A and B are shown apart, each in its own frame.
Chain A
Amino acid sequence: MSDLSDQKVKELELQANSIRISIIEMLVEAGSGHTAGPLGMADIFTALYFHILKHDPKKPDWAERDRLVLSNGHICPVYYSTLAHAGYFPVKELLTLRKFGTRLQGHPHREYLPIVETSSGPLGAGLSQAVGMAIADRMDKGVSSDRFIYALTSDGEHDEGNTWEAVLMAGKEKLHNLIAIMDRNNIQIDGFTEDIMPLESVRAKYEAFNWHVIEIDGHDMREIVDAVEQAKAIFEKPKMIIAHTIPGKGVKEFERKYEWHGKPPNKEEAAMALKELRTLGGKIRSEHE
């Protein structure tokens, strides 16, 4: 069990709620973009940037920082919102998302926003970049490196061959410093993942490739933190945390509907969503409680 206090859990949940509010605000202002994935991953991003990651918003290029590769770049509203709330740039800049001249490109681009570790958007290439980072980290720091490489992937991008090339290689290289997290929300653009291209049993697949697999409720702060702690303690294997998430989490109207994968809320929908998020009073309860 994690040593997170009830107070800390509440703080993180409140923070995730603020990040969700910003996601809705920026998407409605942008008029395009993805809604379901960013809302579904808000708890994990919050746990990472407000508790787990070794990072310093005042020194974004700190060499000893943990690295985080966002492979499915289309969920960048949650990435941008989290970075802003963590202090990397002003929260009001979030309203420039997708607009001409913005640092917050429709998909992350490090030429415009160098604090993102990689540019991403085309799916399936993030895990292998994280594998390269983990290999380079081990070359420089040896096996006792306490700098971890986090790769955030989607379930849908496991349709891509490049993803499996990386899974195969990470197993071969026994990359203990690589912690991948899969957003297992069961949706992709054309429908539910198990209808489009079934992935199950995805746990058995990873285990067969010599990964250590942990499954969690991706909205439970304690489970997220515990999973990463466990992952850090496992040597000789790369780690995959399959995070079961609810797409659109936090706004009842959007939850579990693949139709919300790739569109933003209109003004009315945004007003409804913001009202719901704001009246929760900071209390986001896990579906499993």
Chain B
Amino acid sequence: MLSQTAKLNTKIFDKDVEQAPIRKGFGEGLLIAGKADEQVVALCADLTESTKMDLFAKEFPKRFIEVGVAEQNLVTVASGMAAMGKIPFVSSYAMFSPGRNWEQIRTTITYNDRPVKIVGSHAGISVGPDGGTHQAIEDIALMRVMPRMVVLSPCDAIEAKKATIAAAKNGTPVYLRLAREKTPIITTEDTPFEIGKAQIFFAPEKKAQVGIIATGALVARALNVAHSLSDKGIAVKVVNLATIKPLDTEAVLNLAKEAGAIVTVEEHQIAGGMGSAVAECLAKWLPTPQEFIGVHDQFGQSGTMDELISHYHMDEKAIEEAVKSVLQRKK
């Protein structure tokens, strides 16, 4: 059943559950962060409306910088502003930032230790019709490999708002991963959020047989699977991993200890992603059978979100199969 302490949206399993794009929550959060601290500034690479920076740009035109289609300049100018005490948020599509400007982020932001917040919107395969060139499914790997970088991947618009506000205050470089399409609202304003803390979203009444660790928009699908399997007598616990780095190793190990089998769920390449981060932790401290939901070393293509999520085996059916498969592997 849904975790009580997480204070989630009780309508999450209804057919008409409210939906909103995760990026929308970022736009709202940035405006709040901007009102709270006048050092917060925003820079965009010619995608102000679609990355939802327009709310901030309208309210604070003097603190908004239009950089044009120049992602290398986007992050390096932001680094310079951070050197003067600003807290810059930079937004583009994840494929271009951090996709195109990785070395500039490394040298001028993380190596340089500047608290720039890199917002990768339209991440994942679910961006859909634009096709494979625009589907960033490598960005988690690119960002989590960098020392000092905090990597956040909120599961819905409300969590994205909280993640944005928290990022403005944490004092470090941050990568914030957002999705384009509308996805179910899972959390509520009352759901706790803390950078570095994973949260149990769904807990079976009895001891869990399998633990799912999910991140981003696919958390909703993981919850659907846990819900429907509980009716079939399979006890699945679901943890929402909104902070991929630093990894909440305590939460990961507690889940592995209880369930003895793990399925990781992410809209990203399996290589180097969130599942890899979990596997690095488990391999060292508590080797546990694990199945990985994600893209298997392929590029995406045009299609609707649902078509692509299903084609690349990240839908409820695929997650359920992974749960059953890892159950078989338990000793």
Say yes or no: is A109 at the interface (Cβ < 8 Å to chain B): yes
Say yes or no: is A194 at the interface (Cβ < 8 Å to chain B): no
Expressed in whole angstroms, the Cα–Cα distance for A107 and B1 within the complex equals 55
Of residues 122 through 174 on chain A, the ones whose CB sits less than 8 Å from some CB of chain B are 122, 124-125, 128-137, 139-140, 161-162, 165-166, 168-169
Expressed in whole angstroms, the Cα–Cα distance for A110 and B109 within the complex equals 12
Expressed in whole angstroms, the Cα–Cα distance for A122 and B72 within the complex equals 13
**Contacting residues, chain A, for B80 (C-beta < 8 A):** 69, 118, 128-136
Say yes or no: is A117 at the interface (Cβ < 8 Å to chain B): yes
Closest A residue to B104 using CB positions = A125
Contact A128 B113 (CB under 8 A): no
Q: Considering residues B63, B67, B76, which has the most beta carbons from chain A within 10 angstroms of its beta carbon? A: B76
Closest A residue to B88 using CB positions = A132
Contact B83 A118 (CB under 8 A): yes
Closest A residue to B63 using CB positions = A139
Expressed in whole angstroms, the Cα–Cα distance for A121 and B112 within the complex equals 11
- Nearest CB of chain A from residue B252's CB, rounded to whole Å: 30
Of residues 76 through 105 on chain B, the ones whose CB sits less than 8 Å from some CB of chain A are 76-86, 88, 103-104
Total interface residues on B, using CB and 8 Å? 28
- Nearest CB of chain B from residue A156's CB, rounded to whole Å: 17
Main secondary structure of the interface of B (DSSP, over half): helix
Say yes or no: is B65 at the interface (Cβ < 8 Å to chain A): yes
Say yes or no: is A120 at the interface (Cβ < 8 Å to chain B): yes
**Contacting residues, chain A, for B78 (C-beta < 8 A):** 132
Contact B81 A169 (CB under 8 A): no
Contact B111 A140 (CB under 8 A): no
Expressed in whole angstroms, the Cα–Cα distance for A162 and B62 within the complex equals 24
Contact A136 B112 (CB under 8 A): no
Say yes or no: is A190 at the interface (Cβ < 8 Å to chain B): no
Q: Given known contacts A110-B113, A162-B72, A169-B70, is B103 in contact with A129 (CB within 8 Å)?
A: no
Q: Which residue of A109, A120, A125, A133 is within 8 Å of B83 (Cβ)?
A: A133
Contact B84 A137 (CB under 8 A): yes
Closest B residue to A147 using CB positions = B84
Q: Given known contacts A162-B73, A165-B73, is B107 in contact with A133 (CB within 8 Å)?
A: no
Q: A residues within 8 Å of B by Cβ?
A: 67, 69, 109-111, 117-122, 124-125, 128-137, 139-140, 161-162, 165-166, 168-169
> Besides the contacts A110-B112, A132-B77, what 6 more A-B pairs have beta carbons closer than 8 Å?
A111-B113, A118-B108, A128-B77, A128-B80, A162-B104, A168-B68
Q: B residues within 8 Å of A by Cβ?
A: 41, 62-63, 65, 67-68, 70, 72-73, 76-86, 88, 103-104, 107-108, 111-113
